[in-house]
Amino acid sequence: MSKHELTEPYSHYYMDLHIHVGKDMEGKYVKITASDKLTIDNIMAEASQRKGLGIVGVIDCLSPTVLDELELGLSKGDFTELSGGGLSYRGETTLILGAELEIVDEKSQGPIHVLCYLPTLADMKEFSDWCGKAIKNLSLSTQRIYVEAQTLQKRVKEAGGWFIPAHIFTPFKSVYGKGVNTFMEEVFDLSLVDAVELGLSSDTSMADLLPELASFPFITSSDAHSIPKIGREHQIIQAKAPTFSEIEKALKEKSDRKVIANCGLYPQLGKYYQSVCGVCFKSLKNEKCPYHPNNRVIRGVYDRIIQLAEAQKGQLNACKMKGKRPPYRPHVPLEFIPGIGPKTSDKLITHFHSEMAIMHEAPLEDLAHYLNEKQLENLTSIRQQTVKITSGGGGKYGKITF
C-alpha cells in the first residue's frame, strides 16, 4: 500500500459497498438474479483473500436468515463487532450492514432503488422488524417497501445510518432513470441523503454536470451479482480504522479522513451507457431506430445526463458546492482484460496477494515476470488509460479493444 502516502495513524482501505447475497445458509435464494455462489462465507473469503478489499457492504442484511447467519458467525468467532460499527471478518475485512430497497410513492414517477446502511447488527435487526411491516417478502433482496420515501429516510437517520440512492442514472429502477422528472428533491429530502452511487455507466465528470449533485459525495460500488464481480468498482479511503464511523468521516471529509479515489469502470463499459433500440440494439442518438421505428428506445445514461443537465440549468436554488472531488480512476478488473484468463489471474493473485495490489500497486516490471508480452501490453494500456472501447447499452456490456 505504499503507493498512497499516508501519515500516522491513518491507513488506506479498498472499499466496495454494494454486494448481494445469492443464497442464505439454508440454501434458499435471497437475491434471485444473483449467483448461488454468493454466500456470506464466499463473499468474505473472496473479498479478504483474493480481492484485497478492507471493507465490503453486504446489502441484503435485511433478510432474517442473513441476520441469523451473521449471528451464527459471531458465535463461532468468524465475526466480531467493532466498536465503531461494522463486523470484522477474522480481523481481515469489515462487513458493513446494508439493505437495498425499492421505493414507489405518490411523488415518484417509477420505482427507485436505495441503499440503507446501519452501524450495528442490533440496529439492522430493529430496522428489519420495522421494514417487515411494509414489505411483502422480507427474506428476499431489494423488495418494494410500502412507505413514503421520506418516512424511510427519517427512519434510517434515526438509527444513525446512511441513506444513499443506488445506481442513480440506470434506465430502470433508479432516481434519475425513471424515478423523477428532473430533480431528486421531487422525492427525497436532500438533507437526509448522505451520498449517491454513480453506477457502472457513469463517472464523476458525468455526474458533476448536474447542479443538484454538487454537494453530495459520490460512491463507486460493484453491485455484484456474482463472485468475480466483487470489487469491479470500489473506492480507496483514508481512515484510522475500517469502521462505520470512520467511513462516514471519510465520505464527509472530516478530521483528515477522506476518499482518496473513486475507481470505476470506464462508463462506456457499462450496460446502459449509450441509447439503443430495444429490439436490435442499434446505437441511437436522439432518433428512432430506422429498422424498428415503432419499438422502444432504451435511453442510455449519457443521453439522460445531458437531458437532466440542460433541464436543471438555471432552475435550481444555489447549491453549496462540494470542495475538489477525489479523482475518478478508470478501473478494469482482471476478468475484463483480453488475454488474462482465470489461470493467469490465479497465478498473479498467488504472487501479489490480491487483485487490488495487481491493479493499483504492483510495479509493471514485477508483473512482467508473470505475464507474456501481449498480456503485459494490455495491462500497461489499462494503467496508462489508452484503451479503446466499444460502448455498451440496452443491458449489454461494452468491450475493450487495444
Residue 176 maps to which CATH number?
3.20.20.140
Instruction: Encode the chain (402 residues) as per-residue pLDDT tens digits.
Output: 334 445 568 899 999 999 999 999 999 999 999 999 999 999 999 999 999 999 999 999 999 999 999 999 999 999 999 999 999 999 999 999 999 999 999 998 999 999 999 999 999 999 999 999 999 999 999 999 999 999 999 999 999 999 999 999 999 899 999 999 999 999 999 999 999 999 999 999 999 999 999 999 999 999 999 999 999 999 999 999 999 999 999 999 999 999 999 999 999 999 999 989 888 888 887 778 888 888 888 889 999 999 999 999 866 554 555 668 999 999 888 888 888 889 999 999 999 999 999 999 999 999 999 999 998 988 888 888 888 899 999 999 998 877
Same domain flag for 76 and 201:
yes
Same domain flag for 49 and 185:
yes
Same domain flag for 322 and 375:
no
Asked if residue 286 is part of any domain, the answer here is: no
d(CA 139, CA 145): 13
Asked if residue 371 is part of any domain, the answer here is: yes
Same domain flag for 63 and 181:
yes
Question: Which set of grid coordinates corresponds to residue 268?
Answer: 462506456
Asked if residue 296 is part of any domain, the answer here is: no
CB-CB contact of 239 with 218 (8 Å): no
Asked if residue 391 is part of any domain, the answer here is: no
Report which of 337, 117, 301 is spatially closest to residue 200, judged by C-alpha positions: 301
d(CA 304, CA 204): 15
Same domain flag for 205 and 251:
yes
d(CA 263, CA 233): 6
Is the whole-model pTM more than 0.85? yes
Same domain flag for 89 and 216:
yes
Q: What is the pLDDT of residue 41?
A: 97
Instruction: Give the strand pairing for 258-264 and 328-330.
Output: parallel
Q: What is the pLDDT of residue 5?
A: 47
d(CA 73, CA 266): 37
Q: What is the pLDDT of residue 316?
A: 53
Asked if residue 154 is part of any domain, the answer here is: yes
Q: What is the pLDDT of residue 1?
A: 39
Asked if residue 400 is part of any domain, the answer here is: no
Same domain flag for 322 and 358:
no
d(CA 211, CA 311): 10
Same domain flag for 215 and 340:
no
Question: Which set of grid coordinates corresponds to residue 309?
Answer: 443537465
Same domain flag for 323 and 349:
no
Same domain flag for 345 and 252:
no
What domain count does the chain have? 2
| Domain assignment of residue 143, given as a range | 11-269+316-330
Q: What is the pLDDT of residue 278?
A: 84
Asked if residue 162 is part of any domain, the answer here is: yes
Q: What is the pLDDT of residue 288?
A: 83
Asked if residue 295 is part of any domain, the answer here is: no
Same domain flag for 364 and 326:
no
Q: What is the pLDDT of residue 185?
A: 95
Q: Where are the alpha helices (DSSP H) in 32-147?
A: 40-45, 64-76, 121-132
Same domain flag for 220 and 341:
no
